[in-house]
Amino acid sequence: MAKQPHATPLLDQLESGPWPSFVTGLKRLAKDKDYVVDLLGHLEHSYKTRKGYWKGGTVGVLGYGGGVIPRFTEIKDEKGEPKFKDAAEFHTLRIMPAPGMHYDTETLRKFCDIWEKYGSGLIALHGQTGDIMLQGCTTENVQPAWDEINQMGFDMGGAGPSVRTGMSCVGAARCEQSCYDEAKAHQMVVNRFLDDIHRPALPYKFKFKFSGCGNDCMNAIQRSDMAIIGTWRDNMKTDDALGKKWFAKHGMNELINDIVSMCPTRALQVKETKDVRKDAHISAVALNDSQSLEVDNKDCVRCMHCINVMTGALGPGKDKGATILVGGHGHLKIGATLGTVIVPFMSLKQEEDYEKLVELGQTIIDFFAENALEHERTGEMIERIGLANFLEGIDVDVDANMVNCPRSNPYVNTGGWDEEVARINAKKAAA
Amino acid sequence: MAQPQARKPVEYFLDNKKFLHPKLAANYGNWKYHDRPRPGVLHHVANTGDEVWTVRAGTARQMDVFTIRKLCDIADQFAEGRVRFTIRSNIEYIVSDEKKVAPLIAELEKNGFPVGGTGNSVSMVAHTQGWLHCDIPGTDASGVVKSMMDALFDDFKKEEMPNRVRLSTSCCEINCGGQADIAVVIQHTKPPKINHDMVANVCERPTVVARCPVAAIRPALVNGKPSLEVDEKKCICCGACYPPCPPMQINDPEHSKLAIWVGGKNSNARSKPSFHKMVAAGLPNNAPRWPEVNAIVKNILMVYKADARPWERMADWIERIGWPRFFEKTGLPFTKYMIDDWRGSRYNLNASAHVRF
């Protein structure tokens, strides 16, 4: 039995209503833990005064420079003593879950047992960067809790100016739209950068996210410095039986309104099956015995809309890989940026392909480490130096897929034009 | 006293093979298609003919160990002891026998975990730490989300939206919750109050000066102490100076307001990914249930639900109907604060005769 709970009239109001309540969870923990009794008091104080009261500091584990988020209370009495003394320290351990956030229950139960023993018993599944967040631990318990977690086979995530924990979608494990082995890419990349995750020494954070297709379930283009988005180069795969099944259920109006007219590049047309073009870049799926939906794969941008609506009838092709974008980040300081294409297509089939992806990540991080200003993300660095300079720095050739359109202003010195064209032509001839 | 031998950490990022449901492991990379037999359930078919049903349920994200153990009990009983989590903190159970789906749903709901969040539903809110743990929060996260999801409970459990709806909340302008169809983000309205006694001890002043997006901060001597001063005419109240220098107190119980943004989209489906846009601001930080915020979020969602065509995301819908009609239909005022004047802002102005009447 823990000590007497503090009155929490405001938090109590978050126990009503149908959605699962974190307050009810905290109160359950507070029955046995003075720590959580005081945590509830601390949080109620925030609700009452509408302010936060945690400050950072320095707490870590042996061998690592990051991964623990230290929190010390700022709610003090007139003598400078913590008012909620049992929750005066409320550190978080960031732990990397396996790719795709899959668990067996034995593992989850072990996490629970460790965190009940050393911490508050509160676990966030998961933080926005993709970590298991073991929330609430005293300074002295951080190391023993970490030792047990590490011995389970889990490693600590990133914090501060470092490579951060990566994220990958469910992908090949359960999704027909998967265009590469997201978990494999995720695991290989993170294992290369463990030193940069655990020992923060970069200008600022660097995030990798892995989505298996353009639906980008990991929000990689927006939320990561290097986004690996699955795609394919050849024709869309089609399945006539599933096409007919879809059409029988949904009919022509839905086909036209929900699919054909919503294609962003007008790559779809409804045709009599006999009139479907025979060119190599055309694919078609049967709708009934006489009509087909024709796809011009040269016009298609792999946006995924028609595939999402007619799952299985249409699908990604066989020549799979990824489009790579660099420079996504949230607000502050130049405003949010989305990633920019720097590799339109990288094949991801063989082991060597994945090694090439890891190498590209290394090249980009090396350039970032050398050239970014303190507290500058890759997207901000690229905005400051220009994409062309960044590409030159990482030795990647320019490609028209990297822009929405060529420049619309004349403010550039094109004096090197002839040499540049000669260089491109020589490279083409040598390829 | 002798120090115990320091343990060297084992640095290794594990693979997921042993955590996969056996049917997922057996059909890895070999799935054919999926459909959704009912809200909250996905049915995947592999090229081998294998089938799995995934049941998705909402959680509070911040969970006590007793809740997690209960979720594990359910997995042991129905789902071969495996679970996975989505990016929005929903839990997924995978079952290989269709007969287990209904009893699994019943068991989850009996224990207070709503089944839904699939297809064209409103999924759980992507959110941050807030007052519970963050060192710079302007508001709470879990509480805002709890009150919002209470209000959107039916929309989570049904698939009745035109397309999927993704929400986020963020406790400061860094926007850790991310871009979303509807995002709730703190918007400060007063420049930081500076605790001049503390600055010299706590802050690296050049770092703080460099952090300001509008160069409004400069070093100054205040009461004989090295400190900082803010040009309040220039200050955009973003709070960027606060994380590197806590004496630049930006959070204010009254003047830290909430803003609502719409039309953010991460997917490449149809249109390219886009940022959300501000459509309301000045809302009070009204803990514990933020009723003013929830009323506007719910209103926008209901207008979207009634007006958008099938498969139009929030951004697609607004692109079709235009911003003037968005403000007309939602009854929200369009104000001068929504006219962009940050870098690149000219591209957000209407340089055409395209006007809807």
The domain B17-110: what is its CATH number? 3.30.70.3340
* Confidence band for A268, pLDDT divided at 50, 70 and 90: very high
A157 in any annotated domain: no
Mean pLDDT along residues B69-89:
97
Mean pLDDT along residues A194-206:
96
- Global pTM reads 0.97
Q: What Cα–Cα distance (Å) separates residue A128 from each residue in A72, A97, B252?
A: 22, 13, 25
Mean pLDDT along residues B208-235:
95
Q: Does A310 touch chain B (CB under 8 A)?
A: no
Question: Mind listing the pLDDT tens digit for each residue in A67-96?
Answer: 999 999 999 999 999 999 999 999 999 999
Neighbours of B182 (CB within 10 A): 26
pLDDT at B246: 94
Same-fold call for B17-110 versus B130-189+253-348: no
pLDDT at B17: 93
Mean pLDDT along residues A313-317:
98
CATH number of the domain bearing residue A379 = 3.30.413.10
Q: Name every chain B residue with its beta carbon within 8 A of the beta carbon of A262.
A: 270, 311
| Token pair recorded at residue B111 | 């224990």
Chain B from 136 to 175: CB within 8 A of any A CB: 136-140, 142-143, 146-147, 149-150, 153, 171, 173-175
Q: Does B7 touch chain A (CB under 8 A)?
A: yes
Q: Using alpha carbons, select from A59, A13, A15, A11 the residue that is nearest to residue A37.
A: A11
A286 and A200 in a single domain? The answer is no
The 3 state secondary structure assigned to chain A is: CCCCCCCCHHHHCCCCCCCCCHHHHHHHHHCCCHHHHHHHHHHHHHHHHCCCCEECCCCCCCCCCCCEECCEECCECCCCCECCHHHCECCEEEECCCHHHEEEHHHHHHHHHHHHHHEEEEEEECCCCCCEEEEEECHHHHHHHHHHHHHCCCCECCCCCCECCCEECCHHHCCCCCCCCHHHHHHHHHHHCHHHHHCCCCCCCECEEEECCCCCCCCHHHHCCEEEEEEECCCCEECHHHHHHHHHHHHHHHHHHHHHHHCCCCCEEEEEHHHCCCCCCEEEEECCCCEEEEEECCCCCCCCHHHHHCECCEECCCCEEEEEEECCECCCCCCCECCEEEEEEEECCCHHHHHHHHHHHHHHHHHHHHHCCCCCCHHHHHHHHCHHHHHHHHCCCCCHHHCCCCCCCCCCCCCCHHHHHHHHHHHHHHC
Asked if B144 and B128 count as a contact pair (C-beta separation under 8 A), the reply is no
CATH number of the domain bearing residue A101 = 3.30.70.2500
pLDDT at B255: 95
A357 and A407 in a single domain? The answer is yes
Mean pLDDT along residues B98-126:
97
Q: Does A280 touch chain B (CB under 8 A)?
A: no
* Confidence band for A62, pLDDT divided at 50, 70 and 90: very high
Q: Please give the residue range of the domain that contains residue A399.
A: 167-230+322-430
Q: Does B62 touch chain A (CB under 8 A)?
A: yes
Mean pLDDT along residues A368-382:
96
Predicted confidence (pLDDT) at residue B1 exceeds the cutoff of 60 = no
A343 and A277 in a single domain? The answer is no
A16 and A140 in a single domain? The answer is yes
Angle at B170 between CA B41 and CA B258, to 5 degrees: 115
Predicted confidence (pLDDT) at residue B6 exceeds the cutoff of 90 = no
Asked if A177 and A302 count as a contact pair (C-beta separation under 8 A), the reply is no
Mean pLDDT along residues B254-259:
96
CATH number of the domain bearing residue A284 = 3.30.70.20
Closest residue on chain A to B24 (Cα): A173
A384 in any annotated domain: yes
Predicted confidence (pLDDT) at residue A101 exceeds the cutoff of 70 = yes
CA dist., res. B344 & res. B357, Å (int): 28
A138 and A37 in a single domain? The answer is yes
pLDDT at B113: 98
Is the predicted ipTM greater than 0.90, yes or no? yes
Tell which CATH classification among 3.90.1150.10, 3.30.413.10, 3.30.70.1880, 3.40.50.720 matches the domain B130-189+253-348: 3.30.413.10
Task: State phi, psi for B311 to the nearest 5 degrees.
Answer: 75, 0
pLDDT at B5: 67
Question: Mind listing the pLDDT tens digit for each residue in A353-373?
Answer: 999 999 999 999 999 999 999
Q: Does A371 touch chain B (CB under 8 A)?
A: no
CB-based contact A96 B13, cutoff 8 Å: yes
Question: Mind listing the pLDDT tens digit for each residue in A409-427?
Answer: 999 999 999 999 999 999 9
pLDDT at A359: 98
Q: What percent of chain B has pLDDT over 90?
A: 96
pLDDT at A431: 86
Predicted confidence (pLDDT) at residue A31 exceeds the cutoff of 60 = yes
Question: How many residues are listed for chain A in this entry?
Answer: 431
A51 and A102 in a single domain? The answer is yes
Q: What percent of chain A has pLDDT over 90?
A: 98
A98 in any annotated domain: yes
Residue whose tokens read 């209370």:
A73
A402 in any annotated domain: yes
A3 in any annotated domain: no
A89 and A143 in a single domain? The answer is yes
Predicted confidence (pLDDT) at residue A259 exceeds the cutoff of 90 = yes
CB under 8 Å, gap of 24 or more: what pairs does A388-393 form?
A390/A326, A390/A342, A391/A342, A393/A367
Asked if A249 and A333 count as a contact pair (C-beta separation under 8 A), the reply is no
pLDDT at B4: 59
Select from A300, A315, A330 the last residue of a domain.
A315
CA dist., res. A182 & res. A169, Å (int): 7
Helix (H, G, I), strand (E, B) or coil at B175: coil
Q: Give the list of residues 6+ apart from residue B246 with CB closer than 8 angstroms, or none.
A: A55, B135, B198, B202, B203
A113 and A70 in a single domain? The answer is yes
Q: Does B345 touch chain A (CB under 8 A)?
A: no
A309 in any annotated domain: yes
A178 and A327 in a single domain? The answer is yes
A292 in any annotated domain: yes
Predicted confidence (pLDDT) at residue B274 exceeds the cutoff of 60 = yes
Select from A121, A151, A181 the last residue of a domain.
A151
Question: Mind listing the pLDDT tens digit for each residue in B129-165?
Answer: 999 999 999 999 999 999 999 999 999 999 999 999 9
Q: Does A117 touch chain B (CB under 8 A)?
A: no
A140 and A38 in a single domain? The answer is yes
Asked if B83 and B54 count as a contact pair (C-beta separation under 8 A), the reply is no
CB-based contact A52 B251, cutoff 8 Å: yes
* Confidence band for B3, pLDDT divided at 50, 70 and 90: low
Q: Name every chain A residue with its beta carbon within 8 A of the beta carbon of B59.
A: 20, 125
A160 in any annotated domain: no
Asked if B145 and B232 count as a contact pair (C-beta separation under 8 A), the reply is no
Q: How many structural domains comprise chain A? A: 3
CA distance A101 to chain B (A): 5
Q: Which residues pair with B283 in a beta bridge?
A: B258
Burial class (CB in 10 A: 0-12, 13-18, 19+), B76: middle
Task: State phi, psi for B249 to the nearest 5 degrees.
Answer: -70, 105
CB-based contact A156 B9, cutoff 8 Å: yes
Q: Which CATH architecture has domain B193-248?
A: 2-Layer Sandwich (3.30)
* Confidence band for B263, pLDDT divided at 50, 70 and 90: very high
pLDDT at B344: 86
Q: What percent of chain B has pLDDT over 70?
A: 99
Cα of B89 vs its chain's centroid, Å: 11
A348 and A310 in a single domain? The answer is no
pLDDT at A331: 82
CB-based contact A312 B89, cutoff 8 Å: no
Domain definitions of chain B by residue range: 17-110, 130-189+253-348, 193-248
